[in-house]
């Protein structure tokens, strides 16, 4: 396909924020360095338009490495006998949040496997405790698939946001990444339920997961257009040595940042993290993500002694600049590329936000 036609598709996406299925496929399949550069520059303009040069940080607390599920790509799947298991108490979680608050974090993300040992009521109590201590903070949960009434219970307890990647919108691809008992339709319904309850909702997918095709990715973009999430988290697939996908090749930073930028053009006001997985496969992954339109970073606030146990994939970074304790370094790295880390809840800005900020449309 000619580069000229691809560049025309980029301009169409930039203006209409939507493409047809085969247009997504073409853009992804035939991308060239010049097309990527055009996508990046348009994506940066949209991110600046809504969020200026601000980068939001979220303090990530990994609350449990137990999981009842057996996703084929995941290092803490229940079928991995070598995974190191831990579960934080609610007091430990509150302590993490306190350290984060002192460091300037105003959003806490509680993430974990689907751990039957952490009851719905215990999660609600943990959230309620955080809400009482930090009324000015956003509380995000990322605890997998639950019944609608459980999501509602946690929302009532004070949670504001929920992250649940749909993983892949193509059911046949989903079936190659997950055991048969996991149902992509149920998972997508969870996202609709979360929205209905009132959560700010994040979805997402892995880039370069085994068997993934441009057709699958086009399906992901179409699903995201339908869902209209507040946040989209994507990161490269990175294999874990104790899983059935141990020998599958990792996704690339190049495709990940290209897709990040396409997401920014599709959803100009979406919250878009430069993920840990991107920082794991490329030491400059965070910077590349931000320069492709990402505006969120989630440093690790978990207790030091458990960080190495939450090993979703090999070599996952959790110390150094990935650590919440090293925020100063991260600030410097962002300043070096012209961005500023801010102490802020970092809420999603609706389309009306442009009018209220007085920024011009581009
Ligand atoms: S990806 Fe999530 S649900 Fe699947 S095994 Fe890992 S922690 Fe559990």
Q: Confidence class of residue 227 from pLDDT cuts 50, 70 and 90?
A: very high
Q: Do residues 152 and 197 touch, judged by C-beta distance below 8 A?
A: yes
Distance CA 281, CA 269 (A): 27
Residue 150 clears pLDDT 50, i.e. is over it:
yes
pLDDT in tens, 87-115: 999 999 999 999 999 999 999 999 999 99
Tell me which residue has its CA closest to atom 5 in ligand 1: 77
Q: Is 25 within the bounds of a domain?
A: no
In a domain, 192, yes or no: yes
Residue 360 maps to a domain:
no
What range does the domain containing 288 cover? 52-346
Task: Say yes or no to pLDDT of 361 above 50.
Answer: no
Residue 31 domain-assigned (yes or no): no
- pLDDT reading at 170 higher than 70: yes
Alpha carbon nearest to ligand 1 atom 2, residue:
113
Q: If you take atom 4 of ligand 1, which residue's CA is the nearest one?
A: 71
Residue 112 CA: nearest ligand 1 atom is 7
Q: Which residues contact 300 (CB under 8 A, 6 or more apart)?
A: 60, 62, 276, 307, 318, 319, 322, 323, 324
CATH of the domain at 131: 3.20.20.70
Q: How confident is the model at residue 323 (pLDDT cuts 50, 70, 90)?
A: confident
Residue 231, SS3?
strand
Q: What is the pLDDT of residue 344?
A: 81
Within a domain: residue 362?
A: no
Is residue 249 one of the residues assigned to a domain? yes
Compute the mean pLDDT over every residue in the chain, rounded to the nearest whole number.
94
**Residue 245 belongs to a domain:** yes
Answer whether residue 69 is part of any domain.
yes
Average pLDDT over residues 238-244: 96
Report the nearest atom of ligand 1 relative to the CA of 145.
3
What is the per-residue pLDDT across 328-357, written as a single tens digit (0 to 9) for each?
Answer: 899 999 999 999 999 788 888 887 666 444
Give residue 146 CA to ligand 1 midpoint distance, Å: 13
**Number of domains, the chain:** 1
Give the DSSP per-residue string, 153-208. Answer: HHHHHT--EEE---B-S-HHHHHHHS-TT--HHHHHHHHHHHHHHT-EEEEEEEES
* Cα 40 to ligand 1 centroid, rounded to whole Å: 31
| Percent of the residues in the chain that have a pLDDT greater than 70, as a whole number | 97
Q: Which of 70, 79, 114, 203 to mutate to test the pocket of ligand 1 (most atoms within 8 A of CB)?
A: 114
């Amino acid at each position: 396909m000619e580069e000229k036609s691809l560049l025309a598709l980029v301009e169409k996406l930039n203006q209409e924020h939507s493409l047809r299925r085969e247009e997504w496929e073409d853009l992804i399949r035939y991308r060239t360095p010049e097309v990527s550069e055009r996508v990046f520059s348009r994506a940066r303009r949209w991110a600046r338009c809504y969020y200026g040069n601000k980068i939001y940080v979220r303090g990530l607390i990994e609350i449990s490495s137990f999981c009842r599920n057996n996703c084929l790509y995941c290092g803490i799947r229940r079928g991995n006998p070598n995974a190191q298991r831990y579960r934080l108490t609610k007091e430990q979680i509150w302590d993490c949040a306190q350290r984060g608050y002192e460091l300037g974090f105003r959003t806490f993300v509680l993430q974990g496997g689907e751990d039957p040992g952490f009851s719905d009521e215990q999660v609600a109590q943990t959230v309620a405790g955080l809400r009482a201590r930090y009324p000015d903070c956003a509380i995000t949960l990322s605890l997998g698939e639950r019944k609608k009434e459980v999501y509602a219970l946690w929302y009532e307890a004070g949670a504001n946001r929920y992250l649940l990647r749909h993983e892949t919108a193509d059911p046949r691809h989903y079936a190659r990444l997950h055991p048969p008992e996991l149902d992509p339709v149920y998972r997508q319904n969870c996202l609709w339920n979360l929205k209905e309850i009132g959560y700010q909702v994040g979805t997402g997918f892995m880039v370069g997961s085994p068997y993934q095709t441009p057709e699958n990715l086009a399906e992901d973009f179409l699903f995201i257009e339908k869902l209209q999430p507040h946040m989209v988290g994507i990161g490269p697939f990175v294999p874990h040595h104790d899983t059935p996908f141990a020998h599958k090749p990792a996704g690339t930073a190049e495709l990940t940042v290209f897709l990040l930028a396409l997401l920014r053009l599709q959803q100009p006001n979406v919250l878009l993290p430069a993920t840990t997985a991107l920082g794991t496969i490329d030491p400059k992954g965070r910077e590349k993500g931000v320069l492709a339109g990402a505006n969120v970073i989630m440093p690790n606030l978990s207790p030091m002694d458990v960080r190495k146990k939450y090993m979703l994939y090999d070599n996952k970074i959790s110390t150094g600049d990935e650590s919440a304790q090293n925020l100063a370094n991260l600030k410097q790295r962002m300043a070096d590329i012209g961005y500023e880390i801010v102490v802020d809840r970092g809420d999603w800005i609706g389309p009306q936000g442009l009018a209220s900020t007085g920024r011009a449309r581009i």
